[in-house]
Amino acid sequence: MVVTGEQANTEPALPLSGYRALDLSGPMGVYCGKLMADMGADVIKVEPPGGDPMREIGPFVGGQPGPGRSLYWLHFNTNKRSITLDISTSEGAAVLRRLARESDVLLETEPSGYMDSLGLGYESLAADAPGLVYASITPFGQTGPYRDYKASDLVGFAMGGYMYVTGWPDTPPNKLWGSQAYHTASNRAYIAILLALYHRMMTGQGQYIDVSMQEAVAATTEHVNTTYNYTGESAVRCGFRHGGQFVATWRCKDGYASITTNTRAAWDDLRAWMDRDGMAGDLMDAQYDDHFVLRGEHSAHIEELVQAWALLHTRQEITEFGQSNHHPWGPAATAEEILGNEQLWGRGYLTAVESPDGVSMVYPGDPYRLTEFQQPVRRTAPAAGEHNAEVLGGILGLSAEEMERLSA
């Protein structure tokens, strides 16, 4: 019997309470699994015997690798359960097939064709579990000439078109901090999974989802494709000047500050302040009245003046002046400033949690607030195979001997 969310007869505690997902993903999908688990799904991380290789990704508690010490693992696997299972054996594959029948979602990031080779592809599993939503994330998708190409986060970011435009004209193209190509693929996959689950609520039908990391990145660049497709020019790197527009970040007295002159009022307030400091040069002239002037032929001249002026002021001065005049100005925060951030604590986004080993940790929260729900971190990440008995025994009714043999 499939226990699905739709049939849950109790009040759902969280949006995905009652749904079960098998998470076979690596770094490309682990955030998608987290998004499901944090919203209440029973996400079971299926790890190879000995534990998932992601357990060896840093940073580590105290800088030292070891069991339970990977903060990468602890972050991306909150609220998940863990089983160890070698799906490359026929016995392990048979267990996964049985688990799929008791699940609503399967998420995997194997190379195209690998799951089929184990008899665990969508068609095969859907024969037993027609309601299954089966999501595959690959670097380039399941079809097309690059379907077997390999990619890391960096390569996905490059091929998706975001990297060429990131960085300064005199630096190599740059990636964003962190593994944002992976997370973008995960974010997109999660949207597709939710669409499929909603469709299933209406029809009972499951389906197969093919997510391409390259496309996920390409659909996230904002201006790369629209610029080329509508002007015939490729967008270029311009650092934090955001396409040389009126949205820009500047070096200031104690770091960097973002000064967006999105309105005439913001531009007038900026140049009037520069003028009061005796640093406006000729910017008070009428020829600079239009705030779109920063895009035009005078942009280099204006940038030079604004940059020289910005060095006179601190991030706080710039922020306070801008915000008190309703302009979107703010500081470039440093990492240390985030941990003490009053807004992130004030809304309950940051939460203090104690690890099973007694380490106090601060966890970031969910990307959005659904006001019908409380969304606490309910459980830190599981140890490898921590829930073998619960899952394999409890859900599938395997005996202790069978479980022992499977996880050996």
| Residue list 73-92, contact with other proteins (CB under 8 A) | 74-76
**Cis peptide bond upstream of 59, omega within 30:** yes
CA 368 to chain centre: 13
Find the part of the chain contacting other proteins (CB under 8 A) among 90-98, 186-194, 385-393, 400-408.
Answer: 186-194
Name residue, tokens 């019908």: 372
The CA distances from residue 97 to 81, 85, 116, 118, 123, in Å, are: 18, 12, 12, 11, 12
CA distance 74 to 264: 47
Q: Which of 67, 347, 354, 400 binds other proteins (CB under 8 A)?
A: 347
> Beta 329-331 vs 255-260: how paired, if at all?
antiparallel
CA angle 215, 170, 166 (to 5 degrees): 20
Find the part of the chain contacting other proteins (CB under 8 A) among 275-283, 298-306, 344-352, 385-393.
Answer: 344-352
Is residue 37 within the footprint of other proteins (CB under 8 A)? no
CA distance 160 to 365: 28
Looking at the Cβ atoms of 8 and 400, the one nearer to other proteins is 8
Q: Which of 114, 118, 149, 268 binds other proteins (CB under 8 A)?
A: 149
CA distance 8 to 70: 35
Closest CA to 350 of 383, 375, 379, 382: 375
Q: Which of 67, 117, 128, 154 binds other proteins (CB under 8 A)?
A: 154
Is residue 114 within the footprint of other proteins (CB under 8 A)? no
Q: Give the nearest distance from C-beta 179 to other proteins in angstroms.
A: 7
Q: Give the nearest distance from C-beta 353 to other proteins in angstroms.
A: 9
Element (H, E) at 133: strand 133-138
| 242 carries an active-site annotation | yes
Q: Which of 1, 358, 372, 397 binds other proteins (CB under 8 A)?
A: 372
Q: Mark 202-241 with x for binding to other proteins (rule: CB under 8 A) and - for no binding.
A: xx-x-xxxxxx-xxx-xxxxxxxxxxxxxx-xxx-xxxx-
Is residue 190 within the footprint of other proteins (CB under 8 A)? yes
From 75, 199, 242, 298, the catalytic residue? 242
- Tell me the residue type at 393: G
Is residue 338 within the footprint of other proteins (CB under 8 A)? yes
Question: First CA to last CA across the chain, in angstroms?
Answer: 28
Q: Which of 45, 55, 175, 387 binds other proteins (CB under 8 A)?
A: 175
Residues 241-300 contacting other proteins, CB under 8 A = 242-243, 247-249, 251, 255-258, 260, 262, 292
Q: By three-state DSSP, how is residue 120 classified?
A: coil
Is residue 358 within the footprint of other proteins (CB under 8 A)? no
Is residue 24 within the footprint of other proteins (CB under 8 A)? no
Looking at the Cβ atoms of 117 and 203, the one nearer to other proteins is 203
Q: Which of 1, 276, 342, 401 binds other proteins (CB under 8 A)?
A: 342
Residue 351 phi/psi, 5-degree rounding, is -135, 135
Read off the tokens for 349: 């986004």
CA distance 170 to 300: 16
Q: Give the nearest distance from C-beta 78 to other proteins in angstroms.
A: 10
Looking at the Cβ atoms of 119 and 328, the one nearer to other proteins is 328
Number of Cβ within a 10 Å radius of residue 378: 14
Read off the tokens for 389: 């008995």
Looking at the Cβ atoms of 141 and 281, the one nearer to other proteins is 141
Is residue 43 within the footprint of other proteins (CB under 8 A)? no
Find the part of the chain contacting other proteins (CB under 8 A) among 88-96, 166-174, 274-282, 392-400.
Answer: 166-174
Binding residue count for other proteins, defined by CB under 8 A: 158
CA distance 134 to 106: 5
Read off the tokens for 190: 């999660």
Query: Could you give the residue numbers annotated as active site?
Result: 242
